[in-house]
Amino acid sequence: MSNMPRTPARRSRSVAKTPLTPSLSAAVNSLTIASPARKGSKGSSSKPFPGDITNPFFQPSKSRPTSPLKRATSGGIQVSESLQRQANAGVIRKGGIESRLDVITCDYRPPKPDMKRSKSQPAGTNHYKRDRYITNREEQDVAATLELMHLNPRSASPGHTARLAEAANLPINKRVLAFHEAPPIPSSDPLMSQQREIVRPLYARPGALTSSTSSTTNKTRKVAMQPERVLDAPGMVDDFYLNLISWSCLNVVAVALGESTYVWQAATGSVVHVGDAPEGSYVSSVDFSQDGMFLGIGMGTGDVELWDVETNAKLRTMGGHQAQIATLAWNGHVLSSGCGDGSIWHHDVRIARHKVMELLGHAGEVCGLKWREDGELLASGGNDNVVNVWDGRVGDVNDDSRSSAKWTKRNHTAAVKAVAWCPWSPSLLASGGGTNDATIHIWNTTTGARLHSLSTPAQVTSLHFAPHRKELLSTHGYPTNSIMVHAYPSMEKVAEIRDAHESRVLFSCVSPSGDVVCTGAGDENLKFWRLWEVPKKAGKKAGKVGGGMGEGILALR
Amino acid sequence: MATKQAPTRQAITLKGSTAIVTDFFKFAVNTILYQRGVYPADDFHLVKKYGQVVMLTQDLALENYLNKILQQVQKWLVSGGVTQLVLAIISKDSRVTLERWVFDINLQNPPAESADEAVAAKPESVIQAEIRDILKQIVSTVTFLPTMDEPTVFNILAYTSESADVPADEWVDTDPLAIEASKSQQVKLRSFSTDIHRVEAMVAYRYEG
């Protein structure tokens, strides 16, 4: 930036500014007119004189040059000198003149004279508190004011009231009357209003009860709407909070029917009675260990039993819980149990003092419990509408060791029974709420963020991610009693099997090969649905591991 | 009155006009109470009126309450004592006025004796069509009025002239239940007129945008 080539341009710019200056001179003019009057009112003898330093713009002489150009040439005036100085120094800007105008307006405001005047004429004090141009009238309720006037008409002059009334379009000299009784209370019938309250969630959701027995599928995806196989399950308890079926990797389905537990070999179709709950109690949960060799059975009494499936013998009973074991989850040799009192215990099945950890994070019954496949995280859902994720590491072997949840989510508004980890994206956790919530939330368990939410037409009773597809299965209770398949991550409905059971679908599990889903319900049926296919290349492997579940069922027919 | 109306065949008398306005007010109030959810939807049933289907309450207590009010309104209409009827919808818990449905009632100046053949009597079908338009507009206001999640109650106010005779123990002076001017928005609705009355409808609602 060299000054030399710039100077001509700058000069020409200052010349170009001249059209603005008449307004400046006009402002100065108005000042000269205004200030003597003000000072006169002050009563001081101070007279404006040309050399007034406080106001460099002050120019009392009547032979004031009309344009600053002229002033600049005359050279005798302070204003133009200072301007010239500024111009020479290169500080004059486009806003220079305007800022000078600001100075004038500031000077124009008379706070000090006001003070002096207030001594002599106290009546005029608050007049100067207001700006003359901006009304600072408080925001007030005109109608209320008028109403006050209406009640007390003598407080204001009648003309003023009339004008105000006209402006606010309010009637004057009129009475505002209301009937002496209050209108009747809307819901006179308490039973009716209670019923309304109960059915409200059913009306509130989209798609609820549109067609009660319909099944819809995506056009690009065909899903069998009929179950592949139906098994009778007499005495199956219709209780939302229990978890009564489990499908092992050895292709064995364990079912708890009342006080007895049965094992159904999917390959052969044979049924073996495993054991009974103690007199007066019932089986509240079953779960197979990861290798499929052992079966954990939770009792209504709070005991957890360990059974060897192969020899059909009870290995041990692990007591300690005081309420029913609504859910069980295995991780290696650790069997975790969710109890009716809200506690979760880790039982190490190998050692005598089996209780190795207690997780306290639920105020209500724990009814959903799932280990992540790698055993690092444990997700739990409870009747207190809370979803907790726990660090899976089992701490000090100490009866009293307690842990706090890695994170806690309270978004659900009803009991959380359905929790599911995603097999192909380990950080994903899905959780679903009960009747009043009926919402599925998908969480990123690494960050704790809620990724997706989906409201469904009915209570969510169980959730599973499809092993070989980017899909999420959910089962639902009244009124749809449906099995739904949602695409992930779009959460669009891929398929829905309405009225999959005659009553609410309560339990579900996925076959080890990942193609068939078994559901159980209060209508005392177990139904097997072929919802997915085992992908071709992984088919052989899955076939080996799954023991050819599909063929087994077909052979039985 | 009767002599004035004599030349026109189907001219509406003051009594007839009053009946029309009262009837309109009854259906307008019912429509508002239904549409705005002041009373539960299943308290209402369908009735054919003005060539369309309108909702009318089945709640006996509410029906009686409205009838009592309308009887008095009818008396005032005959005497010309009422100038405005307001249906205010108030939050049940906070007692804040949420909506004000205002019906201005203006007495049409009766035509001068000489001009009465020039002003033909308004056929009833036209009046009904105008009323139907207002009721349809009330229904359609649901699209822009803010939703009211809280339980609400309503109150009916009558603006009367100072001279109107008021049954002392039944009607009492009251607060106008106004919405603060800074927090209210107003929408003018259609109007209808008989030969004698002209009713203009307007809704003001609380909107703190």
- Indicate whether B4 belongs to any domain: no
Reading the block at residue B42, the tokens are 């299943």
- Indicate whether B30 belongs to any domain: yes
pLDDT for A325 equals: 94
Would you kindly state where each structural domain of chain A is located, as residue ranges? 229-530
State how many domains chain B has: 1
Q: Is the pLDDT of residue A555 over 80?
A: no
Cis amide bond preceding A489, omega within 30: yes
pLDDT for A397 equals: 46
How remote is the C-alpha of B30 from its chain's centroid? 10
> What's the CATH code, domain A229-530?
2.130.10.10
- Indicate whether B110 belongs to any domain: yes
How remote is the C-alpha of A21 from its chain's centroid? 59
The answer to whether the CB of A528 falls within 8 A of the CB of A553 is: yes
Q: Which residue of B has its CA nearest to A176?
A: B159
Rounded Cα distance between A72 and A86, Å, is 12
Rounded Cα distance between A114 and A111, Å, is 5
Interface test with B, best of A179, A180, A200 (most B CBs within 10 A): A179
Reading the block at residue A83, the tokens are 């301007």
Closest-CA distance of chain B to residue A478, Å: 23
Helix axes B14-35, B124-140, angle to 10 degrees: 20
Contact between B159 and A173 using a beta-carbon 8 Å cutoff: no
Q: Which of residues 207-246 of A touch B (CB under 8 A)?
A: none
Rounded Cα distance between A274 and A285, Å, is 14
pLDDT digits (tens), chain B, 209 positions: 444 444 444 567 888 889 999 999 999 999 999 998 888 888 888 989 888 889 999 888 899 999 999 999 999 988 888 889 999 999 888 888 999 999 999 887 665 444 444 456 788 888 999 999 999 999 998 888 888 888 888 999 998 888 878 887 888 888 888 888 888 888 888 888 888 889 999 999 988 76
Q: Which of A286, A289, A267, A266 is closest to A275 using CA atoms?
A: A286
- Indicate whether B90 belongs to any domain: yes
Q: Is the pLDDT of residue A152 over 80?
A: no
Would you mind telling me the total number of residues written for chain A in this entry? Answer: 557
Domain that holds residue B59: 12-206
Put simply, whether A141 touches B (Cβ < 8 Å) is yes
Looking at per-residue pLDDT, the higher value among A280 and A48 belongs to A280
The angle at the Cα of B173, spanning B169 to B176, to the nearest 5 degrees, equals 145
The answer to whether the CB of B49 falls within 8 A of the CB of B28 is: no
Q: Which residue of B has its CA nearest to A177?
A: B173
Q: Is the pLDDT of residue A160 over 50?
A: yes
The answer to whether the CB of B134 falls within 8 A of the CB of B189 is: yes
- Indicate whether B144 belongs to any domain: yes
Put simply, whether B172 touches A (Cβ < 8 Å) is yes
Tell me which residue in A139, A177, A193 faces B160 most closely, judged by beta carbons: A177
Closest-CA distance of chain A to residue B58, Å: 11
Rounded Cα distance between A437 and A420, Å, is 17
Cis amide bond preceding A479, omega within 30: yes
Tell me which residue in B65, B72, B166 faces A184 most closely, judged by beta carbons: B65
- Indicate whether B3 belongs to any domain: no
What is the domain-level CATH number for residue B133? Answer: 3.30.900.10
Q: Which of A442, A290, A313, A454 is closest to A372 using CA atoms?
A: A290
Confidence band, pLDDT 50/70/90 cuts, at residue A85: low
Looking at per-residue pLDDT, the higher value among A131 and A331 belongs to A331
Q: Are strands A402-403 and A355-360 parallel, antiparallel or unpaired?
A: parallel
Closest-CA distance of chain B to residue A147, Å: 8
- Indicate whether B2 belongs to any domain: no
φ, ψ (nearest 5 deg) of residue A314: -80, 130
Looking at per-residue pLDDT, the higher value among A124 and A159 belongs to A159
Whether the predicted model's global pTM rises above the 0.90 cut: no
Chain A residues with CB-CB distance to B162 below 8 A: 173-175
pLDDT tens figures, A95-129: 444 444 444 444 444 444 444 444 444 444 444 44
The answer to whether the CB of A369 falls within 8 A of the CB of A419 is: yes
Confidence band, pLDDT 50/70/90 cuts, at residue A36: very low
The answer to whether the CB of A403 falls within 8 A of the CB of A409 is: no
Chain B residues with CB-CB distance to A179 below 8 A: 65, 68-69, 72, 156, 170-171
- Indicate whether B170 belongs to any domain: yes
Chain B residues with CB-CB distance to A171 below 8 A: 83-84, 159
Q: Which of residues 57-116 of B touch A (CB under 8 A)?
A: 59, 61-62, 65, 68-69, 72, 83-84
CB neighbourhood size of A303 (10 A):
19
Contact between A176 and B61 using a beta-carbon 8 Å cutoff: no
Rounded Cα distance between A505 and A521, Å, is 5
Contact between A177 and B155 using a beta-carbon 8 Å cutoff: no
pLDDT tens figures, A391-447: 888 765 444 445 688 889 999 999 999 999 999 999 999 999 998 899 999 999 989
pLDDT for A202 equals: 63
Report ipTM for this prediction: 0.75
Looking at per-residue pLDDT, the higher value among A196 and A184 belongs to A184
Q: Which residue of B has its CA nearest to A138?
A: B182
Contact between A182 and B172 using a beta-carbon 8 Å cutoff: no
